[in-house]
Amino acid sequence: MASLRDTHIGTAPGKTVLSASDLHRVVDRIAHQILEKTSGATGTVLLGIPTRGVPLARRLAARIHAFEGIDVPVGALDITLYRDDLRLHATRALGKTEIPGDGIDGRRVILVDDVLFSGRTVRAALDALSDVGRPSSVQLAVLVDRGHRELPIRADYVGKNIPTAQSESVRVSLAETDDGVDEVRLSGSEDPR
């Protein structure tokens, strides 16, 4: 359907900006950067933001384990109940929140998400996080930063910066959530619903 609509409006069909192998390299690089910037990921917890932040966080933990043999606790932090745009959409189903057994108090939390855009999701995540506990610091890792920030928020780890037009859409597919496909595509303006 998406390609049909793209053709119809005369834009090139969505183009792949990260292939599967690109994506794997990018995850590897972020894992290395985390190890570097956190002195071996000690006292660190990775919290993925549903939906695709959660498998990304798990992949990062798996790569960190592969590189250094370190087990970083991984969890999920759903931010739906903290969103500032609930009234603009039909009611959203909640995602899972799973905080690792030892909690987050006094630890370095790295929030993981697929795309950084307006920054509002991260703002909501910071609110949600403060209701869960008191981390010593919070960092942010994203696969793609597409710009257009509406809040003073930046990422500590960025897989790839992709300059986009506001009307374009970035679509991240991960094997765990998207029928085994790993890729990132950029496509023309979506039907503005």
Write out the residues near another protein by the rule CB under 8 A: 78, 81-82, 86-94, 96-97, 127, 130-132
In whole angstroms, the minimum distance from the beta carbon of 112 to another protein comes to: 20
In whole angstroms, the minimum distance from the beta carbon of 122 to another protein comes to: 16
State the maximum Cα–Cα separation within the chain, in Å, rounded to a whole number: 53
Q: Which two tokens stand for residue 140?
A: 């942010």
Residue closer to another protein, measured from CB, 8 or 87: 87
Q: CB-based contacts of 152: which residues, under 8 Å, 6+ apart?
A: 119
Q: Which two tokens stand for residue 134?
A: 């008191």
CA atoms 17, 172, 115, 26: torsion sign:
negative
Residue closer to another protein, measured from CB, 8 or 89: 89
In whole angstroms, the minimum distance from the beta carbon of 86 to another protein comes to: 5
Residue closer to another protein, measured from CB, 76 or 155: 76
Residue closer to another protein, measured from CB, 92 or 154: 92
Spatial contact of 108 and 38, defined as CB atoms under 8 Å apart: yes
In whole angstroms, the minimum distance from the beta carbon of 139 to another protein comes to: 22
In whole angstroms, the minimum distance from the beta carbon of 51 to another protein comes to: 14
Residue closer to another protein, measured from CB, 8 or 191: 191
